């Protein structure tokens, strides 16, 4: 691109606004430019979304889709919640970023609200789920050295096979998914992997240097793998008995997604540390946090950890609005009801291609067999249902928790038609 052309483009953006520049693109333009200039670390569905409202999204040609991806649980409140959008508009006229070099009233309100909501004592605000996980790992290790007495640099953290906690170099080092880690090494030591939902293997892996056990209460990215009843409580008991911290990764399962505020509450398996994110940003902004008990969180001192944007005033008020709306609108109960409706509906289809339907709340996995999953993905798209395959031929359904009874029925009907169309 020549200098004069570039200057003209920048001037056009400033004079007419970014939106005008964006809206000039066709769906095909957007896909072509993204493929040319963006790294190919994602394989998006062949649809370009330009507008959203509640559980519905629209492409540039005006086609309407029911969003059952829900930005991987992040759009729990529905797209463009009116209350959260208004909260953002008011904050944009006040202050958005001051860094952690000073205090802010917005951060103070957020810290108290998230602790009250979660039952934890203290919070360390961050931006993304992976950052929240990394924060929990640092807290657990320092707690192990300063409070448990583990020899320096010998701390071990037990994780589960099939996990997904993010994509930083530390996290992928203990992933059991080959593509997540291949050619990105060397990897850091200090992690021990055991089968998920196996208390015997878990307990056998504990040593005197074990500082924490970190798992997802339900393995979302792993294929909506729900452990057997009692497993979460047993993990809590094992941690307590062995003086080991329990870390739940609730980035995808938290904030009403499974029919409870947090998935660990299905068995009262209270953690010592918890990573949260995604829905905390109200579908508008990245907000996450590491939450925990005071005896763990207090090991951090100034200089141990930080984030320029973590806890910024804009993100803080969005998160408080998101928490308030979840509570006032009863999204946990709605998730439980609509999730059960969806699972019952999928099972009632009685299609031989459906091997299993599993999940909790509106975190639903539809595992298929004897069907070309690529063709089925396209069939879902043709039926105007957005969903993507995760591991083990499982399609994940995690729509906004605001989805109505009629909309769930429509999803079930479209899914049935899509599956039958590829037989």
Alpha carbon 82 to its chain centroid, in Å, reads 22
Catalytic residue among 260, 278, 334, 360: 278
Task: Name the 3-class secondary structure at 10.
Answer: helix
Residue 164 annotated among the catalytic residues of the structure? yes
How far, in Å, CA of 321 to CA of 310, rounded? 17
Peptide bond before residue 291 is cis, with ω within 30 degrees of 0: no
Q: What would the two tokens of residue 285 be?
A: 């902004």
Task: Name the 3-class secondary structure at 388.
Answer: strand
Catalytic residue among 110, 142, 191, 249: 249
- How is residue 281 annotated by DSSP? G
Residue 29 annotated among the catalytic residues of the structure? no
CA separation (Å) from 29 to 13, 47, 59, 105, 234? 17, 12, 13, 43, 53
Q: What would the two tokens of residue 411 be?
A: 């999803």
How far, in Å, CA of 44 to CA of 30, rounded? 12
Residue 346 annotated among the catalytic residues of the structure? no
Catalytic residue among 110, 164, 196, 395: 164
Q: Is residue 110 within 8 Å of residue 316, measured between CB atoms?
A: yes
Residue 360 β-bridge partners: 363
Which residues are catalytically annotated? 164, 249, 278
């Amino acid at each position: 691109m020549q200098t004069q052309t570039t200057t003209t483009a920048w001037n056009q953006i400033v004079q007419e606004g970014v939106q005008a520049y964006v809206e000039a693109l066709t769906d095909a333009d957007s896909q072509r430019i993204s493929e040319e200039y963006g790294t190919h670390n994602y394989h998006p569905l062949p649809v370009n979304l330009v507008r959203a409202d509640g559980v519905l999204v629209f492409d540039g040609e005006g086609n309407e889709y029911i969003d059952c991806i829900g930005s991987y649980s992040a759009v729990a409140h529905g797209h463009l919640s009116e209350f959260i959008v208004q909260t953002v508009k008011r904050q944009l006229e006040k202050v958005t970023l001051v860094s952690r070099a000073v205090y802010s009233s917005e951060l103070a309100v957020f810290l108290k609200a998230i602790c009250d909501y979660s039952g934890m004592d203290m919070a360390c605000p961050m931006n993304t789920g992976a950052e929240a996980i990394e924060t929990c790992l640092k807290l657990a290790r320092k707690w192990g050295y300063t409070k448990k007495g583990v020899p320096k640099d010998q701390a071990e953290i037990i994780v589960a096979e099939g996990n997904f906690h993010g994509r930083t170099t530390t996290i992928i080092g203990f992933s059991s998914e080959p593509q997540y880690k291949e050619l990105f090494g060397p990897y850091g030591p200090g992690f021990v992997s055991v089968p998920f939902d196996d208390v015997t293997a878990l307990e056998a892996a504990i040593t005197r240097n074990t500082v924490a056990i970190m798992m997802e209460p339900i393995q979302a990215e792993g294929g909506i793998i729900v452990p057997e009843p009692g497993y979460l409580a047993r993990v809590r008991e094992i941690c307590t008995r062995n003086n080991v911290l329990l870390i739940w990764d609730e980035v995808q399962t938290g904030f009403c997604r499974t029919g409870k505020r947090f998935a660990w509450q299905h068995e009262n398996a209270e953690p010592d540390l918890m990573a949260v994110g995604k829905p905390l940003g109200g579908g508008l902004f990245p907000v996450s946090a590491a939450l925990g008990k005071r005896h763990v969180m207090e090991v951090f001192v100034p200089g141990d950890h930080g984030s320029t944007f973590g806890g910024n005033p804009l993100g803080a008020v969005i998160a408080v609005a998101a928490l308030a709306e979840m509570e006032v609108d009863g999204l946990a109960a709605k998730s439980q009801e609509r999730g059960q409706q969806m699972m019952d509906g999928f099972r009632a289809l009685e299609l031989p291609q459906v091997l299993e339907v599993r999940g909790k709340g509106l975190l639903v996995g539809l595992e298929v067999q004897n069907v070309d999953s690529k063709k089925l993905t396209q069939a879902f798209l043709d039926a105007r249902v957005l969903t993507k395959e995760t591991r083990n031929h499982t399609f994940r359904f995690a729509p906004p928790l605001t989805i109505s009874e009629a909309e769930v029925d429509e999803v079930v009907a479209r899914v049935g038609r899509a599956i039958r169309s590829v037989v």
